[in-house]
Every structure is written in structure tokens, then in C-alpha cells.
Amino acid sequence: MAGIPGMPSEQSDTQDQSRSNQGAGLKRPKSRAVSTGEAERILKKTKHSLDPELSRQTLSQAFDLADGGVLLLFDYGNGRLYESKSELQAMMAEGERRAARGPESLCHDFPQGQAFAEQVPQLVRQLAKELKIDPAQLDGSEKSLDKVDKALWRMDTERALSPDVFAPLTAYVGEVLRKAINGRWEMRRSTDADKTWEPWIVDPSGRSCPPFLIYKEIMENEKSASVRGWVAGTLATWQLRPAQPGSTPP
């Protein structure tokens, strides 16, 4: 195994995250980034030992800590501190099992399945509840995404990417896009092993966009992610592309 599935750290493999991600839906153990100086202090004051096998698996120097955690040090000296080595190993094992099955749709864990599009109104209400936002403020405008961003910044990234939050978020992002381009929802089968149903937005000329790609923005940027920025960039790209049926903004 090369690197840690679904983790936004320096050694992450970013190959083909355009429509699927083997880290989607994985339960991520609690961890945080640490600077070079903090990593040195941790190793100085905490009993530790180098774990050669975990180092090989994570493409780092992995140190087992006396409290059951693990510290990963990367090439540039910075690192990531995990509270539980066993939880990290469990996530990695699950990532290997998923990798053996091939790429998995980002929508794989959406419980709505083919009925996603018809449940968008309920999902938008669910998003307001999950983010503790007045439902009236989710009016489908780009400006309303400022409220969404602020709420997501207060939320743990793992929670934000869980189906309970990510499916409603996908629905609302899709609604903002749909309203902006006078588009419609369309459910399509993914190319993953389970042929997962995916929700797409299609404009009157046939161009389409998958709103669930907001996953990549949140996973990679965590607390600094901007849903409004992602939507604005997607709409700007859409306006610059020629109207060709089936074309997809990158």
C-alpha cells in the first residue's frame, strides 16, 4: 500500500479524484498536522519507537508512541499525529479492501440511491438542520453559501464528509448550480463495481456537472475549504466552455 487512503496529508496520492475516491466514506481516525518543531518536542518528551512496517506503508517515518498513538514524519520534517494507531491501521486495512474492488463512487454511501433527485427538497432541509442554519437562509443563491461555509468551518471534516452531511450538502450545491444555469437534475450510473447512482446537474444545452465533486474541495482543504469558491469557479468554467451536449466542466 502506498500512503494513507482518504487523508489530506503531504504524501496523499491524488490520482483520478474527478469522479471517484477510494477514501470516500472511510472512518478517519482523529489526527492533526504538526510542525517540525512540535514533532521534535513530542519525540523528546514521549517514549517512542520506530515502526518499520508502518513507515513503509505510509511512506513516512512512523513512530509508535507510549500512549497508543502514532506520529508520522514526512520528508520535509512536518508530520501528522494520530491519537490511535489501531484506528489508523483499521482505516488503512479498509482502504486496502476497497482498493481491491476498484475505484468507488463518492456517492457510494448515499442512502437515497436513484431517488436522490426527487428527495432534494428534504435533503436541503436536512442540511439546514445539520449545519444549524435557518432554512430560510438556504434560498439557492451563491451568497447563501457563505452561511454554509461558516457552518462547515465549525464542523469536524470527518463529520462534514459523512453521508448524513455530505449527501444534503451535495443536494444544496446542486440546487445552487441548477438555479444559476436554469438546469435540471439527472441520475446516472457510476462506473464503479456497484454501478452507484450519481446525481448530476445538466443545463439546457446538455452540458453537465457532478455537484458531489465538492468532496475533493473539503477533503483537501478541510477548515479552509470554500463551497462558495468552488461553485463560483465551476460556474465561471461553465460559461467559458462551448455548449456541446455531454460536455463536463473540469
pLDDT tens for residues 148-186? 999 999 998 889 999 999 999 999 999 999 999 999 999
Please check the confidence at residue 22 and state whether its pLDDT lies above 70: no
Residue 213 confidence (pLDDT): 93
Q: Is 111 exposed, middle or buried (0-12, 13-18, 19+ CB in 10 A)?
A: exposed
Give all strands (DSSP E) within the chain, no chain letters: 31-34, 48-50, 61-65, 70-73, 79-82, 184-189, 197-202, 208-209
Model confidence band, residue 96 (pLDDT cutoffs 50, 70, 90): confident
Please check the confidence at residue 4 and state whether its pLDDT lies above 70: no
Residue 220 confidence (pLDDT): 83
Residue at grid coordinates 434560498: 139
**Is there a single domain that holds both residue 16 and residue 93?**
yes
For residue 149, the enclosing domain spans: 113-240
pTM for the model: 0.65
Is there a domain that residue 188 lies in? yes
Residues pairing with 184 in the sheet: 202
Is there a domain that residue 136 lies in? yes
Q: What are phi and psi of 31, to 5 degrees?
A: -155, 170
Question: Are the C-beta atoms of residues 11 and 55 closer than 8 Å to each other?
Answer: no
Higher pLDDT, 6 or 239: 239
Residue 11 confidence (pLDDT): 36
Measure the CA–CA gap between 216 and 214, rounded to whole angstroms: 5
Measure the CA–CA gap between 191 and 248, rounded to whole angstroms: 16
Residues pairing with 65 in the sheet: 48
Residue 17 confidence (pLDDT): 39
Residues pairing with 202 in the sheet: 184, 208
What is the chain's mean pLDDT, rounded? 84
Mean of pLDDT values over 189-211: 90
Residue at grid coordinates 517540525: 36
Residue 144 confidence (pLDDT): 96
**Is there a single domain that holds both residue 95 and residue 121?**
no
Nearest to 170 by CA among 116, 133, 207: 116
Is there a domain that residue 250 lies in? no
Please check the confidence at residue 15 and state whether its pLDDT lies above 70: no
The domain boundary residue, chosen from 54, 83, 102: 102
Please check the confidence at residue 209 and state whether its pLDDT lies above 70: yes
**Is there a single domain that holds both residue 48 and residue 90?**
yes
**Is there a single domain that holds both residue 33 and residue 98?**
yes
Residue range 210-235, pLDDT digits in tens: 999 999 899 888 888 999 999 999 99
Is there a domain that residue 246 lies in? no
Instruction: Quote the number of domains for the chain.
Output: 2
CATH of the domain at 161: 1.20.120.1090
> Helices (H) and strands (E) in the chain — how many of each?
9, 8
Mean of pLDDT values over 92-117: 84
Residue 12 confidence (pLDDT): 36
Model confidence band, residue 3 (pLDDT cutoffs 50, 70, 90): low
Q: Give whole-number Cα distances, 3 to 64, 90, 91, 170, 198, in Å.
A: 17, 14, 12, 27, 27
Residue range 36-64, pLDDT digits in tens: 999 999 999 999 999 999 999 998 999 99
Is there a domain that residue 218 lies in? yes
